[in-house]
Amino acid sequence: MSTGVIPGGQSPEPRPAGTQMPHQRHEQVGQGAHHIDNRSRSSVITARAAANFEPVGRSVAIARSFVRDTLQGWGFADIVDDAVVLTSELVTNAVVHAGTHADVLCLRSEDGVRIEVADRYPEREVPLQSSAVNMGSPDREGGRGLQLCAALAGRWGVEYTPTHKNVWFQLDLPERPLGTRAAGPSLPADLLPLADGRVRVAVVQIDRKGSVSAWNEDAEELFGHPADQVTGRPLTDLAAWPHTPGTGTGIAEALQLSRWEGSYGIRGADGRVTPVYASHLRVRDTGGEPSTVCLLVRDHERAVLQTPLRVPASDAPASSDGQSTDPFEVFIGSPAPDDLDGLLQRTVERARDMLDGDSAFLLLATDDETELEVRASTGLPSARQRFARVPVEAGPGRYGSARMPAVHDDLAAVPGAVPLLNATGMRSVVTVPLKVEGRLTGSLGVAAEAPGRYSNEEALRLQFAADRIALAVESARLGELERLRRGSLSFLVEASDLLAGTLDRDQTLALMAQMTVPTLATWCAVYTIADQASEPYLSYVLHEDEELIDGIKSLLSKISPPDPVPTPGARVWTAPGEAAHEAALRSSMRSLGLTGGPTHQVASGIGPTLATASAVGGETVVLPLVARNRVIGMLTLGKPTDEHFRQEILELAEDLSRRAALALDNARLYSERTAISQSLQRSLLPPGLPTIEGVEVEVIYRAAGEGNEVGGDFYDVFPIHDGAYGFAIGDVCGTGPNAAAVTGLARHALRLLAREGLSGPAVLERLNSAILDEGARSRFLTLLYGEMRPQEDGSAELKVVCAGHPLPLRLRQDGTVEAAAEPQPLLGVIEDLELYEQTVTLDPGDVLLCVTDGVTERREGSRMLGDDGLADVLTTCTGLTAGAVAARIMRAVERFASDAPSDDMAILAMRVPGLHVD
């Protein structure tokens, strides 16, 4: 169902949407024919409400509620029952019997109320104008609506168009005695209000300063104070105002209102407080001096002054079937929307219609009751206002607080009094709080374009409605909040898992952005700060529309980044929106051939499209990324033009930013330590292999473990002196920093000792002593060390010491493989070593293969490659170069097992190719 109100002015011909001006026919029915005319349309229409109902059974009840609410809102309670009965019958004919949609139109005029019900099945029982129509028995269901129109309506008629049938009726307002505003029924004497023998009405006048300027005899009699003792005293000295906890509103504020009714107490001369019912009226004298006239009676005699409400709270409206109706359903309609947004939207529409306003709005309070968030509006630019936040206490006094009702006669006289209505054209407004158990939960307001439209009476009516819906709104809000929190927990759990699954900085940045867009924001930008002395750097930009990413990145790169403030929470950043609008304006002016306009802040070459300006032109917030008490970056979230963030979304984004900051800092620390580790590891490897004339040398090295460049295995080939070259391949027991320390010690010690001219055994014995000197950090070491001298005949002479290392294998040209050395004790275990070296001659075409135990101990289940398996592979390498031999060995090792290697592997192959003869 959709409703709308168009106040004031001459109404156009009321027609269903999309129809042309029809030829009108008026059907005369029975004895009521003389009441039928079409002159009601010449009356001035002062308000209009329309609704559309689907062809389902429940639409009849909804239509009854719509008409009842509309007429009660207009103050026509006297004719509500007749109007509801007639509407119910006519809508039933349309949606039940004819099976079509029903359009209901209510028109308010000076003469009364006209209600039109149109259906979209005019072919059903279309009467001829010249023929008489038999309405049938009153008990007959079909046609009973027209009989009721004839019986109850002052005027009625039927109109036909090619697409619609429209039945209308007009109810005239009952005549009241001249000057009567409201009247009640005659009551038996025992039901009349109880009063003293003489009702005393105290008349007290208060000047503009709040002091008593007049005090009549009844006031003296009621309170015991002579006039000369109270004249000039502030009324606040005498009044005992019933303060509401958490509010500062009292008698002083009530005296400033144009009209006020209510209860408080007056402290008498004997010190006792007399409860009174008061009616205040703000007036001014001929000189323009304002004052307040207060009429006071004893509280139990309040009937003397109390103004009856248009819709008394004690009168429970009855439905057409005589059953009592819930006051909540009277206002909101039945059935009530299930979702919070639907309930709030229905509320503002009904509030607007009830007070004949041009717009209405509803705000919900945050949990701490310090701010109000716009959640629904009608007649206002809702896209701009939705989720905007305003403070509960906007200023001093009653008008600055959302905790009490307020009426503004003219917003033009107090600019900014209601920030939500700035630049909307609204002049007068009434706002009331929504409270549940004394706690502020929201605020409901109705505004009009004309000044002076609302008084305290409208505030009381709106407050009555707000009290009826406050509990339902709060219940729906809590339900939505619970769903949001469950979704938030699930979102944060998933985000934490994703962020914990990577230590790569770039991937962490991408995950941060992808988790926020589009779940939390339309676009996102991540700034990072390398150290405290560095400026924020734009590291990542993402938009739900990939085509806009480059434009946003270009825009953000041209403006100063947000300040790295460590204060938690989201803060608004206006620079992107201002820069986008400015650049878009400049671009539009250039396209029109114009010059000028703003040129500061953004370089003219930025050239963002209008789409970019629209994407960035909404609310932008910045959340700090704080890890280990340091700001390491900022997470920027943005909405498109005129959109705001919900408070719950900002709280969720804040939780995400804390997790993302820690993940980003962990990735940064891991990257730094990995870079340090890799740099140190690279220092353990030789800078490069020397070129040895007459000998081919090839090395393949594979370190086990992710991110490792060097493990416990190492190798080296280096020149010594006089054409001799040293070579070594070793394996340190264990892993980690201690093993790496032994690796570095061994490689550098070998070079230094060998160049001192020491023999192979002497070099290894001194290295053994150095390892043992490391104490608890020492590790035993297997090492194959040798010295090689190329010979003039094309062979190479090798002197080898194998200290606990896998034996080197020699491949001859005929394909035979044999061990090239004997095993000796490993290093780093015993102090006194007696090592010896062995001499091996490599003939042209021979290959010497040296490996670590990661090659020979390669496993697949219970099988192991072993020395024999390595020898079998080597026998197939006859005639291959050193590089080809090393590659074939490595390929055979990798194919031996499907699992990734669990140990480091090093392969050193040396081949003597022989003399080259031209």
Q: 3-state SS string over 698-766?
A: EEEEECCCCCCCCCCEEEEEEECCCCCEEEEEEEECCCCHHHHHHHHHHHHHHHHHHHCCCCHHHHHHH
Token code pair at residue 690? 């020397």
The most confident of the ranges 63-72, 356-365, 534-543, 809-818 is 809-818
pLDDT tens for each residue of 370-388? 888 888 888 876 545 667 7
What distance in Å separates the CA atoms of residue 25 and residue 165, rounded to the nearest whole number?
11
Whether 654 and 622 have beta carbons less than 8 Å apart is answered as no
Is pLDDT at 586 greater than 90 in this prediction? Answer: no
- Provide the pLDDT for residue 38: 43
- Provide the pLDDT for residue 881: 93
Token code pair at residue 360? 């209405």
- Provide the pLDDT for residue 54: 86
What distance in Å separates the CA atoms of residue 547 and residue 620, rounded to the nearest whole number?
20
- Provide the pLDDT for residue 357: 86
Whether 204 and 212 have beta carbons less than 8 Å apart is answered as yes
What does the mean pLDDT of the chain come to? 79
- Provide the pLDDT for residue 184: 59
DSSP 445-465: EEEESSTT---HHHHHHHHHH
- Provide the pLDDT for residue 414: 80
Q: Where are the alpha helices (DSSP H) in 542-693?
A: 549-557, 575-591, 610-616, 647-683
Token code pair at residue 325? 């109706």
Q: How confident is the model at residue 724 (pLDDT cuts 50, 70, 90)?
A: very high
pLDDT tens for each residue of 225-236? 999 999 999 998
What distance in Å separates the CA atoms of residue 579 and residue 601, rounded to the nearest whole number?
7
Average pLDDT (350-365) is: 87
Q: How confident is the model at residue 126 (pLDDT cuts 50, 70, 90)?
A: very low
Lowest-confidence region among 73-82, 133-142, 218-227, 739-748: 133-142
Q: How confident is the model at residue 554 (pLDDT cuts 50, 70, 90)?
A: confident
Q: Which residue's structure tokens are 């006094």?
A: 397
Whether 778 and 742 have beta carbons less than 8 Å apart is answered as yes
Q: How confident is the model at residue 140 (pLDDT cuts 50, 70, 90)?
A: very low
pLDDT tens for each residue of 562-580? 888 888 888 888 888 787 7
Is pLDDT at 138 greater than 50 in this prediction? Answer: no
Phi-psi group of 387: left, alpha or beta (phi > 0 → left; psi -120 to 50 → alpha; rest → beta): left
Is pLDDT at 142 greater than 80 in this prediction? Answer: no
Distances (CA, A) of 659 to 226, 493, 513, 523, 634: 72, 10, 13, 19, 13
Q: Is 482 buried (19+), middle (13-18) or exposed (0-12) by CB count in 10 A?
A: exposed
Is pLDDT at 19 greater than 60 in this prediction? Answer: no
**Which residue has better confidence, 581 or 766?**
766
Lowest-confidence region among 149-153, 762-766, 819-823, 858-862: 149-153
What distance in Å separates the CA atoms of residue 26 and residue 7, rounded to the nearest whole number?
28
- Provide the pLDDT for residue 780: 86
Average pLDDT (398-403) is: 67
Is pLDDT at 448 greater than 60 in this prediction? Answer: yes
Is pLDDT at 176 greater than 80 in this prediction? Answer: no
- Provide the pLDDT for residue 129: 37
What distance in Å separates the CA atoms of residue 324 and residue 170, rounded to the nearest whole number?
26
Cβ density class 390-424: b for 16+ within 10 Å, e for less: eebeeeeebbebbbbbbbbbebeeeeebbebbeeb
Q: How confident is the model at residue 774 (pLDDT cuts 50, 70, 90)?
A: confident
- Provide the pLDDT for residue 173: 79
Q: How confident is the model at residue 249 (pLDDT cuts 50, 70, 90)?
A: very low
Whether 694 and 794 have beta carbons less than 8 Å apart is answered as yes
Whether 249 and 406 have beta carbons less than 8 Å apart is answered as no
Cα of 646 vs its chain's centroid, Å = 5
What distance in Å separates the CA atoms of residue 428 and residue 547, rounded to the nearest whole number?
45
The single-letter code of the amino acid at 529 is I
Q: How confident is the model at residue 736 (pLDDT cuts 50, 70, 90)?
A: low
Of the candidates 214, 406, 400, 397, the residue with the CA atom closest to the CA atom of residue 292: 214
Is pLDDT at 463 greater than 60 in this prediction? Answer: yes
Classify residue 419 by its DSSP letter.
G
Q: How confident is the model at residue 17 (pLDDT cuts 50, 70, 90)?
A: very low
- Provide the pLDDT for residue 477: 84
Token code pair at residue 163? 């697409």
Which residues make beta-bridge pairs with 842?
Answer: 796
**Which residue has better confidence, 266 or 109?**
266
Which strands form 102-109's sheet, in the order they lie side by side? Answer: 3-5, 45-53, 102-109, 112-119, 165-172, 155-160
The single-letter code of the amino acid at 386 is R
What distance in Å separates the CA atoms of residue 883 and residue 916, rounded to the nearest whole number?
19
- Provide the pLDDT for residue 591: 64
DSSP 163-198: S-EEEEEEEEPPP--TT-S-------GGGSPP--SS
Phi-psi group of 864: left, alpha or beta (phi > 0 → left; psi -120 to 50 → alpha; rest → beta): beta
Classify residue 695 by its DSSP letter.
-
Q: Which residue's structure tokens are 């003597």?
A: 912
**Residue 318 C-beta-side C-alpha neighbours within 13 Å:** 7
Q: 3-state SS string over 273-336?
A: EEEEEEEEEEEECCCCCEEEEEEEEEHHHHHHCCCCCCCCCCCCCECCCCCECCHHHHHHCCCC
> Other C-beta atoms within 10 Å of 808: how many?
22
Helix (H, G, I), strand (E, B) or coil at 204: strand
pLDDT tens for each residue of 834-850? 899 999 999 999 999 99
Average pLDDT (244-253) is: 54
Helix (H, G, I), strand (E, B) or coil at 7: coil
Of the candidates 370, 372, 351, the residue with the CA atom closest to the CA atom of residue 360: 351
Q: How confident is the model at residue 723 (pLDDT cuts 50, 70, 90)?
A: confident
Of the candidates 569, 574, 572, 571, the residue with the CA atom closest to the CA atom of residue 652: 569
Which residues make beta-bridge pairs with 266?
Answer: 239, 274
What distance in Å separates the CA atoms of residue 911 and residue 333, rounded to the nearest whole number?
96
- Provide the pLDDT for residue 112: 84
Lowest-confidence region among 777-781, 816-820, 826-830, 862-866: 777-781
What are the φ and ψ backbone dihedral angles of 327, each rounded to 5 degrees?
-55, -30
The single-letter code of the amino acid at 410 is D
- Provide the pLDDT for residue 333: 63
**Which residue has better confidence, 29 or 528?**
528
Cβ density class 255-266: b for 16+ within 10 Å, e for less: bbbeebbbebbb
pTM over 0.85: no
* Polymer length of the chain: 918
Lowest-confidence region among 380-394, 512-526, 627-641: 380-394
Average pLDDT (394-400) is: 55
Three-point CA angle 534, 537, 543, nearest 5°: 160
> Other C-beta atoms within 10 Å of 872: how many?
13
pLDDT tens for each residue of 674-691? 777 777 767 777 878 888
Cis-peptide, bond into residue 335, ω within 30° of zero: yes
Is pLDDT at 30 greater than 80 in this prediction? Answer: no
The single-letter code of the amino acid at 420 is L
What are the φ and ψ backbone dihedral angles of 583, each rounded to 5 degrees?
-70, -40
pLDDT tens for each residue of 643-660? 778 777 888 888 888 888
**Residue 507 neighbours by CB under 8 Å, 6+ apart:** 667
Q: How confident is the model at residue 710 (pLDDT cuts 50, 70, 90)?
A: low
Of all residues in the chain, the percent with pLDDT exceeding 70 is: 80
Distances (CA, A) of 882 to 703, 716, 808, 851, 894: 21, 16, 15, 14, 19
Q: At what angle do helices 59-73 and 80-92 cross, to 10 degrees?
A: 150
Which strands form 696-702's sheet, in the order they lie side by side? Answer: 696-702, 905-911, 847-851, 809-811, 817-819
Is pLDDT at 160 greater than 50 in this prediction? Answer: yes
DSSP 593-629: T---S--SSS-TT----HHHHHHHSS-EEEEEEEETT
Q: How confident is the model at residue 873 (pLDDT cuts 50, 70, 90)?
A: very high
The most confident of the ranges 18-22, 68-72, 156-160, 752-756 is 752-756
- Provide the pLDDT for residue 395: 56
- Provide the pLDDT for residue 213: 93
